[in-house]
A and B are shown apart, each in its own frame.
Chain A
Amino acid sequence: MDELHVRLARCFSAVFPSLSPARILKAQSSNVEGWDSVASVTLFATIEEEFGIEIDIQDLKALLSFEKLIVYLQQTLKQNGF
């Protein structure tokens, strides 16, 4: 796993403590117990703080999986010059 995956996995692990490392990589709101609106708010706040970015409210509904968040972060961090 590259650094981006490790850091995002840490965010997932903090918000969903029962998820194993393998399940984190495949996590999406439909297959993770407890991934409700409150968990989403916590997850996105954790990611924003961890990566120093601000996620647009409009994007939130399209980012409900680990995989989609990885793609989003790769693009956003690249745009921000990281």
Chain B
Amino acid sequence: MKLIEALEILKQAPTEGAIPFEVYMVSSFTPLHLQTFLAAELRKRNPNRSVSLSSGLYGDIRGNLTRMAQSKSDGAAIVLEWSDFDPRLGLRSLGSWDPEVTEDLLNNARQFATFLCAVLRSMLVKFPVSLSSPTLPLPPVTHYPSWHSNKFDLSLKQCVASMLVSISELQNVHIISSDRLDISSPFNRRLDPKSEYASGFPYQIPHASEMAHLHANQLLPLNPKKGLITDLDDTVWLGILGELGVDGISWDLEHGAQGHGSYQRFLQSLSRTGVLLAVASKNNPQLVDEAFRRTDLLLSRNHLYPMEAHWGPKSESVARILKTWNVAADSIVFIDDSPMELAEVKAVHPQIECLLFPKSDPAAILDLQYRLRDLFGKRSITQEDTIRQESIRVAEEFRAESANGNVISDVFLRQAEAELTFHVQKHPLDPRAIELVNKTNQFNLNGKRYTDASWLTYIKQPNTLLVMASYRDKYGPLGKIAVIAGRKERRTLHVDTWVMSCRAFSRRIEHHCIEELFERHEIEEIVFYFEWTPQNGPIQEFLAELLGGSPVAQGRLTRNCFAERRMKTFHKVLETANG
């Protein structure tokens, strides 16, 4: 991003009703253009947030860190440079570089590293913190020539590395990868001595822009893609299955097909992190089944669902896969070795990210894997991630066996052997709750989204009740699929947020959720803070039945009313975990 573009983004007024997003910026230098770029990056990736940045005092890194820890920000960006570890390692200090000072420099660096770790640990990291380790070249402090790696340099870098390892264990602190920065901002084009002398800002403009981009990635990460649809021939394996037969296709060094094996391994790894995988291939389905029985495949057939192998257009296969997964096209990546197939899918599903599999270019295959890691990357793997593919298969089987579309009979539900577990736990806070709240659209009371900080603040209120539900039946587990959050005032619960995964529809779980609230939390009346959204039709229909008319902003439901209008449920409630 150019500086003028950043300034022009910031010129635009935030959208009406924009949620404030306050970021505390910590550095010992004047943040100047870095602050401008960061504000613009944050605004660009979420126009619904009104971004404001505050920074501390020039040259007071310790004070700035302490103030950041005490602030009520929504996020913080800590931008470290060598001068934070000792001012003599920056250009604006004229402190001695005599040979005997190196031990003193190291001691100061170690003290600062200890201080930083202590601050971050003590603040319990109540909002997301993005942290970058020093990015600028070390000044020529020692007597060694620049090509000679020496004990001082190595010890200093070891000190920083140990500090980062320690910090990386803290939840909510996200360290920027220096390897990634090396690719996007060449090392010798980062420092601007003229600017540092003139204004105290040490970065060249492109480096400031890239740093802001990476910090923004950490503070407001883009939603990872959810699913990948792949071709088979000349993609998952080398060769055309219909021509070479099952034994003729390959994916190893011996056949010059290692890139395909590497792609298989990568897909398998993606699947284990909760990414949905499916196949769209113009192929003979019997042959494909046979190919997936080969025991030397690195990608398990079980990780691919649905499998669309036939001779029809791939855009139609993709449409069926999207329907089965029930995810939006913009959450999907489609990979094929044929530009024509990519174009055909793109024409019908313009929001899908279509990527070419570069079958004859090993370097490009590796680049593709880096790109896919960025598109699908996530900070943690939840239990729900590990069962996602399986739960979609389960939901599909449930739908197929119930057979009558949306009307599920009591008989069918009774034989499903469904089990519901309600979790009433605020400490430790399950990250699955905010994940579900922020990504669910259809069964969503009002579409309200939260930042990590605002969610934490809301949940921490003593009268806030947080209930999560997980579900399984004889077809398999769906994991944690519903979140209800509200404020309890005497015997009334004001429900601010209620979401349920679409995979859990048609099981009357929503009825049991309300029953749970009335029965276990001594509530006589529930107030639903409903708001219409273009996508929340399912909850509108449900509330209309329950409240006896179109839902309104603060629809009320009494215990007696619920008893009259509720549907019969057949879930066995296993346990209620309190925390």
Contact = CB atoms under 8 A, between A and B. Distances in A.
Interface of A: 10-11, 13-15, 17, 37-38, 41-42, 45-46, 48-50, 57
A34 B1 CA distance: 24
A38 B4 CA distance: 15
Given A14-B8, A17-B11, A38-B32, A45 B198 contact: no
B150 interface: no
A41 B35 CA distance: 13
Interface in B157-211: 194-195, 197-199, 201, 205
B343 interface: no
B36 interface: yes
Interface of B: 2-4, 7-8, 11, 32-33, 36, 194-195, 197-199, 201, 205
Given A37-B199, A49-B4, 5 more contacts: A17-B7, A42-B3, A45-B195, A46-B4, A49-B3
B7 A14 contact: yes
B4 A10 contact: yes
Contact of A50 (B4, B197, B198): B4
B199 A41 contact: yes
B3 A45 contact: yes
Residue among A13, A37, A42, A45 facing the most chain B CB atoms (10 A cut-off): A45
A76 to B, nearest CB: 16
Contact of A41 (B8, B11, B32): B32
A3 B7 CA distance: 20
B32 A14 contact: no
A49 B2 contact: yes
Contacts of B199: 37, 41
Contacts of A15: 7
Q: For chain B, what secondary structure do more than half of its interface residues adopt (helix, strand, loop), or is it mixed?
A: helix
A49 B32 contact: no
Given A14-B4, A49-B4, A42 B33 contact: yes
Contact of B32 (A13, A42, A50): A42
A48 B36 CA distance: 16
A14 B9 CA distance: 9
A45 B7 contact: no
Interchain residue pairs A-B with the least CB separation, the first 5: A14-B7, A17-B11, A41-B199, A14-B4, A46-B3
A4 to B, nearest CB: 15
18 contacts: A11-B4, A14-B7, A17-B7, A38-B32, A41-B32, A42-B3, A42-B7, A42-B32, A42-B33, A45-B3, A45-B205, A46-B3, A46-B4, A46-B7, A49-B2, A49-B4, A50-B2, A57-B194
B11 A14 contact: yes
A78 B339 CA distance: 47
Contacts of A13: 11
Contacts of A10: 4
A42 B32 CA distance: 8
Nearest to B197: A57
A81 B505 CA distance: 69
Contacts of A14: 4, 7-8, 11
Given A41-B32, A42-B33, A42-B36, A49 B205 contact: yes
Contacts of B194: 57
Nearest to B8: A14
A57 B11 CA distance: 28
A41 B200 CA distance: 11
B89 to A, nearest CB: 24
A26 to B, nearest CB: 20
